A = this chain, B = another copy of it.
Amino acid sequence: MDKEKVDKYNRLLIEGNLFFYGATKGSFIFPPHGYALWKNIQNTLDKKFAARGVQNVLLPTLIPLDLLEKEKEHVTGFSPECFYVEKIGNKKLETPLVLRPTSEVMFYDWYRQILHSYRQLPLLYNQWCSVFRAEKNTTPFFRNTEFLWQEGHTLHASIQEARQFTLNVLSDYQDYAENILCLGIIVGQKTAGEKFAGALETYTVECLLPDGQCLQLATSHYFGDNFCRLMEVKFQNKDNQMQHPFSTSWGTSTRAIGALVKAHADQWGLILPFEIAPVQIAFILIGESPELINYYQEIYGLLSRHYRCQLYNKNKQVNANVLQADQEGCPFKMIIGKQELEHQEITLIRRDDVERKITIKLEENELEKKYITAAEKYCKELSEISRENKKEFEKVKIVNSFRQGQRTGKIFGIISREAQELQKNLYQKSVEFRNKHIFSVANFTELEKKIKDGSKGLFLVPFCNNLDCELKIKEKAPSYSIRCIAGEKKVDTSHKCLFCQSAAQNRVYLGRSY
């Protein structure tokens, strides 16, 4: 990335209050707005996971080095990047500790101790935590020495159930990326050279960002019984035999925030999807008369029960408050001034279309007045029944709640529709960008030309599915790698592998990674 783009991205993050530089290189501070965004993302995913029966747990940050080394094949990938604790106070440790780069070994070491019978399966545990990786070049949210993620580790009694679970979580991630983050993505299986060490199958959700680089947003792995064998996790099955369970793991991280920012920002700042925005409705007051404040408080009271609302008034000038709400990516601004008060209306502005003013009128019409009359009558009738029962009915309360309900209904109807439109709009733009930047490339000369021309995007190329061939790609197309296999039903088998000219098994996406 060139310097100007880096600066622009970092400015978006800082002005949007999503990020601040930590005291150690490559670490970051989550200010309130950024942390709230992450919490909303967490809640959204937690609901999906809970619907699959997943439960949250928490394991320690520190791993004994000798335990980590059990997972040899895996550790080769991580060991040079680990943070080591070799001293506590003045005492040198006999066994050094490592700050978790991931928690596989910790989970399996625990599972080994608690799993006994098939009755306990499946074990569907997940943890939200921070992990540590040494990185030479760091970029906020894309590459950090300490970042936050979620890692699920599940055990199953059967192969079929474990494989299905891997795919179920993948579809949760796809839904999250498309409908919550509003990103145009590609989803598919990783090739042998790109799958997770120890996994039999790795599936990925990838997103092409406006700078032409491809971000791995989430992965889901099926391990067979590999890890359970290695870590000696066993259970007694229905036939009273001891066997290893089959396992999966899956994760996504704070990278999602980087993707959101790059994909959806405009010249004024962030644009956050409605569902996860820390502030869904930013109130902007023009004027400060007591009547105006009263009117604002009534509307705020109605809406804040259902939406995350905040008054933006920390700056002296209205314009500066508007700017701040825009920089922080609030999906809606609700403007309340003299005119709105006079006409008993409110003005709504959608973040992705700041020119359009949406007016919501709140006065009761004739029909609503009739409903209120019916409600009053109903209250009277209830009172008569309750006289036998010596119970008091608060007529005023019921009718008022009806009135408020009407007002709320009018505002909610419009906000809910416009929120969907905003999300759809963000998603459509991202999908269009993706579609414009996927290039079918049939031979190597064409690929070389595209790269030379500086075409940014994903190249869809025929591939032989051969690991040896894959390892040579780095020579042939440096800084490119296979992102995933295209999930096409039919593949033109007359095509030749772009790299070795043998018969192609399928097509793969080739892209530059973060």
Contact = CB atoms under 8 A, between A and B. Distances in A.
Contacts of A312: none
A86 B86 contact: yes
A29 interface: yes
The listed residue with most B CB atoms (<10 A of its CB), out of A39, A57, A91, A125, is A57
B125 A32 contact: yes
A36 B50 CA distance: 13
A24 B63 contact: yes
A57 B80 contact: no
A17 to B, nearest CB: 10
Interface stretch (A268-276, A373-381, A444-452): A373-381
A336 B422 CA distance: 48
Contact of A146 (B62, B82, B148, B385): B62
B110 A59 contact: no
Instruction: Name the interface size band of chain A.
Output: 35 or more
A89 B80 contact: yes
A3 interface: no
The listed residue with most B CB atoms (<10 A of its CB), out of A62, A80, A367, is A62
A408 B85 CA distance: 55
A67 interface: yes
Nearest to A119: B314
A23 B109 contact: yes
A382 B367 CA distance: 11
A506 to B, nearest CB: 37
Contacts of A61: 61, 99, 130, 132, 146
B60 A29 contact: yes
Contacts of A55: 32, 35-36
A23 B113 CA distance: 11
Interface in A23-82: 23-24, 27-32, 35-36, 38-39, 55-64, 67, 79-82
A138 to B, nearest CB: 12
A84 interface: yes
Contacts of A389: 367
Nearest to A144: B60
A79 B87 CA distance: 12
A114 interface: yes
Contact of A32 (B29, B39, B56, B81): B56
A57 B31 contact: yes
A57 B85 contact: no
A388 interface: yes
B381 A385 contact: no
A134 B62 CA distance: 13
A390 to B, nearest CB: 11
Interface in A373-407: 374, 377-378, 381-382, 385, 388-389
Contact of A85 (B29, B36, B38, B83): B83
Contacts of A377: 381
Contacts of A142: none
Contacts of A80: 89-90
Contacts of A35: 55-58
A27 B134 contact: no
Contacts of A81: 88-89
Contacts of A99: 61, 85, 99
18 contacts: A22-B59, A24-B97, A27-B62, A29-B57, A29-B106, A35-B56, A35-B57, A35-B58, A58-B148, A61-B61, A61-B130, A79-B89, A81-B88, A83-B97, A86-B86, A119-B315, A367-B389, A377-B381
Given A20-B113, A81-B88, A84-B86, 10 more contacts: A23-B63, A28-B60, A35-B55, A35-B57, A36-B55, A83-B97, A85-B99, A86-B86, A88-B134, A91-B134
> 7 nearest interchain CB pairs?
A32-B55, A27-B60, A30-B58, A22-B60, A80-B89, A84-B87, A88-B134
